[in-house]
Amino acid sequence: MRRRSYIAGVTGLGGTLTAGLVPGVARSSNSTCETESQHDSNMPPESAEPDQPANPSPQALQDPSFEESLTGWSVGTDLPTKPGDSTDPVAHSVSITTERASDGTHSMALYIEGSADDGTIWVEQPVNITRASTVTVDVYSEQQSFNRLSEVAFFAGKKPQDGLSESDFNRKNDIEDHAGWKTYSYPVGDLTGSVTLAVGMNVVWETGIRRFFDNVRLVEADSSH
């Protein structure tokens, strides 16, 4: 059975994102953007902010730190159906929160209910990447684990005609390889012009996973080289 995959446009505060369930947020049949803080008393204190990459370049990347409720970003999913006879995708959501941030006061929280042991959720936007050598993104894990529960999903390039799916993403980085914030880097020096940039999460464990993303940056090549 082919998995459901769709894109939802985001136009600013209150824009429609995804349907699903976030821990502490009531289930709803409507797709809504959650922007208020969702405090979890079991979450550990934040670690120190990650080092900032050299020579950051805005390069027309909109809302890179999610301070403007995903302005410029669109939400995409590639999700399995709920176990059993349901034809609905597993519960999932995208929210903007002030619970923690590595840059500014907000970050993006991604959630997938992992009962099907699979699923990818992300945000994407077109960007001119000609001057960039690397894309970086900060990801928060509550604790380090030897088990691989979720993966950073990264894509930069020409988007397939039928849209992105799980197999298009670079998923080599395990989110649970650390506790607190960590900056992940992806080389893009072989790309030029306008491409689709996407960052998100892939779930590989049968449990609900919620992770925080912040501070997506295009880093220019060192002009001295």
CATH value at residue 105 = 2.60.120
Give the pLDDT of residue 207: 85
**How many domains are contained in the chain?**
1
User: How many helices (DSSP H) and strands (DSSP E) are in the chain?
Assistant: 0, 11
- Secondary structure class of 115 (helix, strand, coil): helix
Tell whether the model's pLDDT for residue 28 goes beyond 50: no
Match 């990650």 to its residue by tokens.
Answer: 50
Which whole number is the average pLDDT over 70-76? 97
Which has the higher per-residue pLDDT, 39 or 95?
Answer: 95
b/e per residue 119-135 (b: at least 16 CB within 10 A)? bbbbbbbebebeebbbb
Please say if the pLDDT value at position 188 is more than 50: yes
Q: Name the residue among 219, 197, 25, 192 with its Cα closest to residue 122.
A: 197
Nearest to 75 by CA among 18, 149, 15: 18
Assigned domain for 29 exists: no
Which tens digit of pLDDT belongs to each residue from 160-181?
Answer: 999 999 999 999 999 999 999 9
What is the per-residue pLDDT for 19?
A: 40
Q: Is 93 domain-assigned?
A: yes
196 pLDDT above the threshold of 90: yes
Distance between first and last Cα of the chain: 50
Tokens of 32: 């809504």
Domain coverage including residue 151: 4-22+59-127+145-177+190-215
Are 142 and 123 contacting, i.e. CB atoms less than 8 angstroms apart?
A: no
Q: How confident is the model at residue 24 (pLDDT cuts 50, 70, 90)?
A: very low
Token output for 143: 């604790």
Q: In the chain, what percentage of residues exceed pLDDT 70?
A: 72
pLDDT of residue 175: 96
Return the structure tokens found at 36: 């208020």
